[in-house]
Amino acid sequence: MNGRLSKDLRLRKNPEFVYLFKNGRKWKGEWVNLWVIRSPEQPPAGEGSAKFGIVVSRKTHPRATRRNLWKRRIRESYRQHRARIKKGIWVVVQAKLSASQAGERKKDDVPSLKELDRDMKGLFARAGITLEKN
């Protein structure tokens, strides 16, 4: 399995995001919110893959370079956990400011990959979308 997320493994169209935000379930972490829903285009049992999307708004950071850094780190964290995520679901990770940053913007206001990975791993477990390790 290579590191790339092909087009069929990503949520790309606005109606897909709207559907997920309207009908999906949300879990809140320190750095990101996780939205999850079972895929409406249900494949036969045991087939299909999880689809993944990222949302990083201008409210999170006004500079595009910082938003892109958020996206790269979220994508890398997801890539590390992708093999353990159940098939047939849609997952969206939405970046947010941590509570300590809500009032002020710091120089390094993007979480490290380690912090983000810990947050996302916990959210995946709370959402119950990871396969059990045997």
Domains for the chain: give ranges and CATH numbers.
10-97 (3.30.230.10)
Parts of the chain with a pLDDT under 50: 45, 134
Burial class (CB in 10 A: 0-12, 13-18, 19+), 49: middle
Strands of the sheet with 51-55, listed across from one edge: 25-28, 32-38, 89-95, 51-55
* pLDDT at residue 134, rounded to an integer: 44
φ and ψ at 16, to 5 degrees? Answer: -65, -45
pLDDT one-digit tens code per residue, 62-94: 999 999 999 999 999 999 998 899 988 999 999
- C-alpha to C-alpha distance for 126 and 62, rounded to whole angstroms: 30
- C-alpha to C-alpha distance for 68 and 71, rounded to whole angstroms: 5
pTM equals: 0.84
